[in-house]
Structure 1
Amino acid sequence: MTIEYGHVADEVIWHEHGGVGDPVVLLHSSVADARMWDPQWAALTGAFHVVRTDFRGHGRTPYRANGPYGDAADVAAVLDALDLREVTLVGSSYGGRVALELATERPDLVARLVLLNAGCGLPPTPDLTGFDAAEDRLIEAGDIGGAVELNVRTWLGPEADEATREWLAEMQRHAFETQLAADPRPERRRGRIDLSLIGAPAVVVTGAHDLPYFRESARHIAGGVANATLVELDWAGHLPSLERPDEVAALLLRLL
């Protein structure tokens, strides 16, 4: 296992890689950081060369930039630094959106996609609008604890145990505190997603207990990517890799 701090445009992007074999890149949810993949790390590095990274303002990567930045561009720079091509991108939630951006803009890097309740830029539906408004109110009131609790309650399905809920709360709190403390706050620019340009095969996973917005997003992605398979997990919420970690590890090994 190797832990590195990769320099991307004079900034420090934390990343870790280990194992031998075909390259697999794990992209985390915006509610968490790269630690969310801890339960799958041993199984995956036993079969593949696995990379995971913390987006800016999450985990071990500072929330700063010398100018406008993009998370997909940061991931591409890490892969370029490691001289990796034709990787499998496994993206959870926001990490799935980053995977789609990367597959649109840098198809040379991407051989396959596994998307777990990914976003893709669809207009927000009332369920997501309501969540965003509630989160904004809590943060504006300085109630970070309330915002953390809202995220844990919303994004973890019924299979998550109390220890997992506490762990996700710690990751989310760290992200909130890191990002709110940044001065100045960097400008993040989201990349383009064009599903019609994505030639890599994709497995699109949706959870039956997830918000309707993300279930609709999964159907949209599966319908828009030429070589896509839609898989519904009837037990899952938004973060299945945390809710049933061993089952998701086995699923990823089968898919990869």
Structure 2
Amino acid sequence: MSDGGPTSIFVDGAGVPLHVADYGGSGPVILALHGVTGGGFLWSGVARELAGLARIVAPDFRGHGRSGWSADGAYGTADHVADVRRILDQVDLGPEPPVIMGSSWGALVAIRLLATSPDIARRLIIVDVEPSFDAAETDVLPRPYRFASLEEALAWERHPNRHASETDLASFTRASLVESQEGQWLRRHDPFFLTRWPFRNDNLWEELGSLGQKVRIIRGSESFVRREVCLRMAAMGKEWDLSEIAASGHLVPLDQPRALAKEVAQFIGGA
């Protein structure tokens, strides 16, 4: 990653332009996939901590970040899987299959992708998600879409991400917003996600169990993702394990980028 930040790449997502942030660096390539309402910018702290050890490539899913929005609301997990395939076809990630790391919805996308194309990645890191859900896709907690100032937005983001450093939280908040012509700050994602989270329809237990890659499951110690479910996931594979990150909520890459990077470095460096 240069002093000017990651390199931006735009690829054709079948009518929806897809933005990819390439943080650069040497070492194994890690394709890092974010969760709902986020963006590739979620991984900036992890990329900083892994500088010199890995190259982080982080797409914005359609409807998120700097990628385009779907005119017909095509935002299911399968749509994101198809977009990741397009990114892999158009972005040079080197001769070796990458490691895939997914946070929340990003991990579900990775599971679905690898269940159908196991040769795409050699290892998988699942960060803080369960493979199925009791809540419906419309059971979305209210969250503001616009803010009068960056300070107001930062104060709101502090509540769910209380362990994040001031610097990382400010960077995350700014990257997740776009300024309107009226001087307000709007979330950098399709308003569709204020009322619908399509991944809630997923049940990926069977797909997860079919994976042959080495898998590490990582959970934030203070997350709503249940530890007993993560233990069940880890028990499904011969070389799978579970690690917990202390003092972290759901967005582990934001709350504890250094601790997460340490786990990632150990995992990708192991035999």
By the TM > 0.5 criterion, same fold?
Answer: yes
As a proportion of its length, which structure holds more helix?
1
Q: Deviations over 1:89-142 (max 9, x none)?
A: 111122122221212122110210111112322334xxxx8x94532xx57xxx
SS at match of 2:32: strand
2:141 is matched with 134
* Counterparts in 2 of 1:247 and 1:66: CA distance versus 1, 3 Å: same
Please state how far the C-alpha of 1:10 moved relative to its aligned partner: 3.0
The match for 2:240 is 228
Identify unmatched segments of 5+ residues in structure 1.
none
Classify the secondary structure of the residue corresponding to 1:24. strand
Could you tell me which runs of 5 or more consecutive residues in structure 2 were left unpaired when the two chains were aligned.
1-5, 179-185
Normalised to the residue count of structure 1, the TM-score between the two structures is 0.76
1:6: which partner in 2?
11
Give the structure-2-normalised TM-score.
0.72
SS at match of 1:134: coil
| Distance (whole Å) between structure 2 residues aligned to residue 132 and residue 152 of structure 1 | 23
> Is the 8 Å Cα contact of residues 94 and 119 (structure 1) preserved in structure 2?
no
Q: Tell me: CA distance 1:50–1:220, structure 2 relative to 1, closer, same or farther (3 Å).
A: same
Counterpart Cα distance in 2 of 1:244 and 1:191: 27
CA contact (8 A) 1:54 1:61 kept: yes
Checking the alignment, whether the CA contact within 8 Å between 2:64 and 2:188 is kept in structure 1 is no
Which residue of 2 is the match for residue 99 of structure 1?
Answer: 110
Contact 1:152 1:169 (C-alpha < 8 Å) held by counterparts: no
Q: How does 1:1-256 map to 2 (within 5 A)?
A: 2-17=7-22, 18-64=24-70, 68=74, 70-82=79-91, 84=93, 86-124=97-135, 132-135=139-142, 153-154=159-160, 156=161, 158-170=162-174, 176=187, 178-180=189-191, 193=204, 194-211=207-224, 213-256=225-268
Displacement of 1:13: 0.6
Aligned-residue Cα RMSD (Å) equals: 3.6
Q: Secondary structure at the match of 2:222?
A: coil
Distance 1:206 1:179 in 2: 27
Query: The residue matched to 1:114 in structure 2 has which SS?
Result: strand
Q: CA deviation at 1:3?
A: 2.6
Identical amino acids, percent of aligned pairs: 25
Offset at 1:164? 4.4
Q: Is the 8 A contact 2:11 2:19 kept in 1?
A: yes
Give the distance between the partners of 2:200 and 2:104, measured in 1 at CA: 17
Q: Cα distance 1:237–1:6, how it changes in 2: closer, same or farther (>3 A)?
A: same
Q: Deviations over 1:3-41 (max 9, x none)?
A: 310112132111133233322111112242111211222
Structure 1 range deviating more: 191-200 or 97-106: 191-200
Contact 1:196 1:226 in 2 (8 A): no
Runs of at least 4 residues off by over 6 Å: 146-151, 187-192
